[in-house]
Amino acid sequence: MPQPWWTLGGLLAVALLLVLARLMGRSSRTRSTVLEEVRRSLHDGVVEHPSGRSTLVRGKLGQLELTVDLQSDPARPRQSPMWRILAVGPVALERPIEARIAGWEGWIDPWLQLGETLTVPPSVGPEFSMHAERMPTLDDPVIAALRRQGDKLGPGALHARPDLMRAETRFSERPEENRPLFAYLHAMAEISEMPRTRPARTGARAAPRYGVLPESR
């Protein structure tokens, strides 16, 4: 190969490395900025740097013990990297339910694919679908909490069951475009504070034990 082509190839490689370094630096700064904002919004919030894992935030939101981090799923490159929330605590539900907002791909609890589906039409916010063992109704507390977030919601999923909730939504390199993360946090806090729904009638068939959700990594 003539010398000019070697030189041009080298310059292109250097330029590519500089662009990648700049993008990675911007992504890291945005992650730190958003996680710090999450920390400030939680009670006793702390930023942790576990060995071999990504930076995360732990804290309390009402009665919930929360963990928020940024993860990538090789099986879902279009959604990755994504914010993931794990909220442990009382939830005003009697059986598992999962919402998938604005065409979000993938499931937090894949077992709920076997249940009933209710499509909630768009109003102030985006359209989303609800999935549960029995057909949800429009007065479900999860639907009400999500609708109250309106256009602050973005593509994502929220799973709730009596002892915990999980949520995931897209990460953006622009800090202001990560507001859906906070909309999901607010919705989860509201669901947790709602009065528990009425227990199932005596003789009604018991809700199945759905698959165990993966731990936050």
Residue 88 β-bridge partners: 65, 164
Q: How far apart are CA 164 and CA 91, in angstroms?
A: 7
Of 37-41, 79-83, 131-135, 137-141, the least confident: 137-141
- Are the beta carbons of 59 and 66 closer than 8 angstroms? yes
Average model confidence (pLDDT) across the chain: 82
Residue 83 β-bridge partners: 70, 169
Of 51-55, 168-172, 210-214, the least confident: 210-214
Q: Would you state the pLDDT for residue 50?
A: 84
Tally of structural domains, the chain:
1
- For residue 199, tell me if it sits in a domain: no
Is pLDDT above 60 for 127?
yes
- For residue 202, tell me if it sits in a domain: no
Secondary structure element (H or E) that encloses residue 195, with its range: none
Q: For 165-200, give one letter per residue: b (16+ CB within 10 A) or e.
A: bbbbbbbbeeeeebbbbbbbbebbbbbbbeeeeeee
Q: Would you state the pLDDT for residue 44?
A: 94
- Are the beta carbons of 76 and 151 closer than 8 angstroms? no
Q: How far is CA 195 from the centre of its chain?
A: 24
**Residues spanned by the domain of 21:** 3-193
Across the range 34-51, mean pLDDT stands at 92
- Are the beta carbons of 92 and 195 closer than 8 angstroms? yes
CA distances from 209 to 18, 112, 114, 133, 148 (A): 51, 11, 13, 10, 30
- For residue 69, tell me if it sits in a domain: yes
- For residue 34, tell me if it sits in a domain: yes
Is pLDDT above 90 for 215?
no
CA neighbor of 158 nearest in space, from 167, 147, 150, 146: 167
Q: Would you state the pLDDT for residue 141?
A: 87
Is pLDDT above 50 for 205?
no
Task: Choose the most confident range, by mean pLDDT, from 5-19, 20-34, 169-183.
Answer: 169-183
- For residue 209, tell me if it sits in a domain: no
pLDDT one-digit tens code per residue, 129-138:
999 999 888 8
Q: Would you state the pLDDT for residue 108?
A: 95
- For residue 65, tell me if it sits in a domain: yes
Q: Would you state the pLDDT for residue 5?
A: 54
- For residue 217, tell me if it sits in a domain: no
pLDDT one-digit tens code per residue, 179-193:
999 999 999 999 988
SS (H, E, C) 19-42: HHHHHHHHHHHHHHHHHHHHHHHC
- For residue 188, tell me if it sits in a domain: yes
Is pLDDT above 90 for 97?
yes
Cα angle 71, 76, 80 (rounded to 5 degrees) comes to 40
Q: In the structure, what pLDDT confidence band is assigned to residue 12 with cuts at 50, 70 and 90?
A: low
